[in-house]
């Protein structure tokens, strides 16, 4: 079984992944957890939420390493920050699930441009269960489905925390900020419409 937890930054994806892993741990199911080497914001040896909740994990560079490092007794595989892996993650997750292993994957469904963040869309398509979480928009307080980049940088991948990103709803999201350093969204009007 493949289960995907998707959403914007600060929506609780890693918190939910850790919650599901702890439940499996309580059920005495053998677990292995993996995260991409690029994400060392809070810990090299743990999956870590923004609230600093931790679960032991193994750093890997490529999705194929999951299979080479998998112990024979493992019944549950957790993968955090799935968007940072290549498209091979889809095939790896499929092969594991076909062997009867429960695969839990958390990741951003959209990038800073509001576009699908691969390989998450393909994983969502093949998963038996998908949870799409939302954060709280820091501008108007509504449900946030977007990740607003707060720094002028157009790189596809820029690992960061609340100093580089914040959660925004569709109306408060402004792609031009990351490309120009200026906002073209009339946030005063949006906030007024939201009643804030």
Kindly report the CA angle at 160 between 158 and 163, in degrees rounded to 5? 125
Catalytic annotation present for 81: yes
Q: Among 112, 117, 108, which residue's Cα sits nearest to residue 173?
A: 112
Q: Among 154, 153, 152, 185, which residue's Cα sits nearest to residue 168?
A: 185
CA atoms within 13 A on the CB side of 56: 4
Q: Please give the backbone phi and psi of residue 103, each rounded to the nearest 5 degrees, phi first.
A: -115, 120
User: DSSP alpha helices (H): ranges in the chain?
Assistant: 13-26, 65-69, 88-98, 120-126, 176-180, 187-194
Tokens of residue 67, six digits:
């299979």
Contact by Cβ (8 Å): 165, 149: yes
Catalytic entry in 81, 115, 128, 166? 81
Q: Give me the DSSP letters along 146-175.
A: EEEE-SS---S-----TTTEEEE-TTT--T
Q: Give me the DSSP letters along 59-84.
A: EESSTTHHHHH--TT--EEEES-GGG
- Residues marked active site are found at 81
């Amino acid at each position: 079984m493949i289960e995907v937890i998707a959403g914007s930054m600060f929506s609780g994806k890693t918190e939910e992944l850790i919650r599901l892993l702890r439940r499996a741990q309580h059920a005495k199911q053998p677990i292995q957890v993996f995260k991409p080497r690029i994400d060392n914001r809070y810990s090299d040896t743990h999956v870590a939420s923004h609230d600093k909740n931790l679960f032991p994990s193994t750093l890997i560079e490529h999705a194929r390493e999951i299979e080479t490092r998998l112990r024979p007794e493992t019944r549950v595989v957790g993968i955090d920050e799935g968007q940072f892996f290549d498209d091979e993650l889809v095939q790896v997750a499929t092969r594991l699930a076909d062997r009867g292993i429960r695969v839990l994957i958390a990741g951003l469904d959209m990038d800073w441009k509001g576009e699908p963040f691969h390989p998450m869309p393909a994983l969502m398509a093949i998963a038996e269960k998908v949870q799409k979480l939302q954060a709280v928009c820091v501008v108007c307080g509504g449900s946030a489905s977007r990740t607003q980049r707060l720094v002028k940088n157009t790189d596809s991948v820029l690992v960061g925390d609340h100093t580089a990103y914040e959660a925004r709803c569709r109306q408060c999201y402004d792609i031009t900020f990351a490309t120009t350093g200026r906002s073209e969204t009339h946030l005063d009007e949006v906030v007024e419409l939201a009643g804030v």
